[in-house]
């Protein structure tokens, strides 16, 4: 009987689902409401028989956390020393994961599915020589007006950019992920039938130093690139990147905008060379999707809206990238 169960489990398609940080709201109340909706399409996939690992962004949340911690440090630096970005990412992993695991478990139980859901605090190794440390591109924190951004830039010496017509946001270094430190733990949980929430916010960025020490890095790793690495390491069949649009598009925001549906790796690489996708926004999603799709025959990456995940994986919508 036990052997039969193992055989059935091995036939399941593995899916890594990457939730965007902006889809989770910009404060605790918004997040609790947003997560209640976000878990439903994930539960749909589980109900359909997919083996699911969940990742999530933390762009708005990690910026808010660091702003709050910076304020505490300024008021009483001896009692509240500086909180580096790596620590703020760890904090965001904990509280976002807590909300997702509770609401996803509740949603599954409401559907008669009794499965354990667990958050794994995840460190991701980066290269200290990565050129990203000299060229910050990763937006974090809330959207601001130009006047608000200029004021904060003067006060805190932060760098701000305009983000896809939605306002101005602070940007920080976003080095490429090299290795997922807790990958064996994540595999063990997933392989025994648990739903795992891992590599939140792209993972806690760390440098590997002498004496086996892992030192926090002043950065936020792009969650889509970290999700891609996780999907490869788990030998997933699908990488689903859920975002604010139903499809990636050519000439985004222009009168001749055209949605991209089913597309080959070679074709979408041409669009990347043309500069069709915005840095720090759609480009990392497309880069992650391409890397996953070409990493092994038969793998498919999907970019679509949160509520369209089930339709997307069934080929009905979204940007589907394949070799």
- Out of 22, 97, 203, 291, the active site residue is 22
Of 243, 219, 237, 230, the C-alpha closest to 197 is 230
- Out of 138, 291, 308, 310, the active site residue is 138
User: Virtual CA dihedral for 296, 297, 298, 301, nearest 10 degrees?
Assistant: 50
Q: Is the alpha carbon torsion for 149, 154, 160, 165 positive or negative?
A: positive
Active site residue 167: no
Active site residue 270: no
Q: Is 196 helix (H, G, I), strand (E, B) or coil?
A: strand
Active site residue 285: yes
What the block records as the tokens of 271 is 């669009």
> Do 106 and 135 form a contact (C-beta atoms < 8 A)?
no
Q: Terminal CA-to-CA distance of the chain, rounded, Å?
A: 38
- Out of 20, 21, 59, 280, the active site residue is 21
- Out of 57, 58, 202, 223, the active site residue is 223
Active site residue 223: yes
- For the beta sheet containing 214-216, the strands, ordered from the edge strand earlier in sequence to the opposite edge, are 179-180, 123-125, 204-208, 214-216
Of 21, 18, 15, the C-alpha closest to 47 is 15
DSSP E strands: which ranges in the chain? 14-19, 51-56, 117-120, 123-125, 138-144, 159-162, 168-172, 179-180, 195-198, 204-208, 214-216, 238-243, 249-250, 258-259, 262-264, 300-305, 319-322
> Do 126 and 192 form a contact (C-beta atoms < 8 A)?
no
- Out of 20, 201, 203, 285, the active site residue is 285
Euclidean distance between CA atoms 267 and 244, whole angstroms:
23
| Residue whose structure tokens are 């807790």 | 182
Phi/psi region, residue 318 (left: phi>0; alpha: psi -120 to 50; beta: rest), is left
Supply the residues annotated as catalytic.
21-22, 138, 223, 285
């Amino acid at each position: 009987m036990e052997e039969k169960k193992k055989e059935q489990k091995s036939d399941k398609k593995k899916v890594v689902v990457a939730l965007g940080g902006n889809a989770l709201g910009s404060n605790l109340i918004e997040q609790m409401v947003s997560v209640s909706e976000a878990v439903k399409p994930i539960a749909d996939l589980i109900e359909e028989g997919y083996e699911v690992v969940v990742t999530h962004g933390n762009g708005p949340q990690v910026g808010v956390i660091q702003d709050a911690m910076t304020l505490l440090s300024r008021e009483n630096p001896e009692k509240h020393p500086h909180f580096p970005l790596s620590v703020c990412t760890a904090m965001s992993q904990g509280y976002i994961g807590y909300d997702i695991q509770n609401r996803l478990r509740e949603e599954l139980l409401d559907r008669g599915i009794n499965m354990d859901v667990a958050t794994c605090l995840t460190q991701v190794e980066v290269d200290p020589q990565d050129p990203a440390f000299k060229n910050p591109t990763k937006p974090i924190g809330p959207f601001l007006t130009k006047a608000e951004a200029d004021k904060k830039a003067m006060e805190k010496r932060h760098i701000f950019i305009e983000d896809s017509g939605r306002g101005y946001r602070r940007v920080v270094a976003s080095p490429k992920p090299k290795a997922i430190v807790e990958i064996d733990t994540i595999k063990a949980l997933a392989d025994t039938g648990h739903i795992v929430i891992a590599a939140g916010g792209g993972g806690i960025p760390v440098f590997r130093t002498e004496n086996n020490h892992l030192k926090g890095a002043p950065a936020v790793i792009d969650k889509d690139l970290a999700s891609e690495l996780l999907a490869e390491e788990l030998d997933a069949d699908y990488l689903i990147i859920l975002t604010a649009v139903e499809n990636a598009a050519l000439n985004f925001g222009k009168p001749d905008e055209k949605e991209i549906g089913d597309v080959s790796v070679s074709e979408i690489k041409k669009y990347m060379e043309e500069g069709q996708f915005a840095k720090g926004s759609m480009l990392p999603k497309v880069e992650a999707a391409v890397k996953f799709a070409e990493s092994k025959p038969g793998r498919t990456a999907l970019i679509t809206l949160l509520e369209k995940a089930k339709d997307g994986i069934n080929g009905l919508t979204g940007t589907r990238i394949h070799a």
